[in-house]
Amino acid sequence: MNPAVNAKIEAILQRARPEVRDELASHLATCAFDDPSDSGLNALVAQSLLLGQDASATDRSDKAVATEASLARLGDRLESTTWTVAHFKLGNLMLACVLSFGLGAGGVAFAFKMWGPTLSSLFSLPRATDARLTILSSEGAVLRVQSKEGTTYVWLEGSIEAREGQSKTGVSYLYFRP
């Protein structure tokens, strides 16, 4: 075995209670540690140091001594801090997702509102059909619109004629007959 490993094992055994020292030596020999920087061996050394401390002592040669109660409080503080940090990170992540989705959807809606015809042609979206034009088309008529010299001309082509009428309340209206 490595001399540094042997020194650490001896330190552990010296701090152990006499009634369990032989059994502990046998278990440590079975582990066959070969590196003094082995994390398992160093954890055992730290544990033996903590167990060997006097629980009622709070100060030994001007150095603070960790007691079981102070270690428990430290663990509780670490758990609380970890939960708080995780909660804040999760909250920030959720806020970022909501804002990104809202801004993205709002931006797309605004773009289609402002530049609808241009964007619909870019994405090959079909135009919405007008029920009135569909009815005219089913009767064999086509609505034509032409702008010339500041005047807009609207007319029907096909086998349909436009007529006018007036309701009982006096409202004038236009209707088409095939």
* Percent of the chain whose pLDDT exceeds 70: 89
Residue-wise pLDDT for 32-70, tens only, equals 788 877 777 777 777 777 776 554 444 445 556 567 777
* pLDDT of res. 34: 80
From residue 157, alpha-carbon distances to 145, 154, 161 in Å are 11, 10, 9
* pLDDT of res. 57: 44
User: In the chain, which ranges are continuous DSSP H helix?
Assistant: 3-15, 21-31, 39-51, 68-122, 131-138
Report helix, strand or coil for 177. Answer: strand
Average pLDDT over residues 99-105: 93
Cα maximum dimension of the chain: 117
Q: Can you read off the two tokens belonging to residue 137?
A: 């088309």
Q: What residues does each domain of the chain span?
A: 3-52, 59-127, 131-177
Report helix, strand or coil for 53. Answer: coil
Residue-wise pLDDT for 113-138, tens only, equals 888 878 877 777 777 778 878 888 88
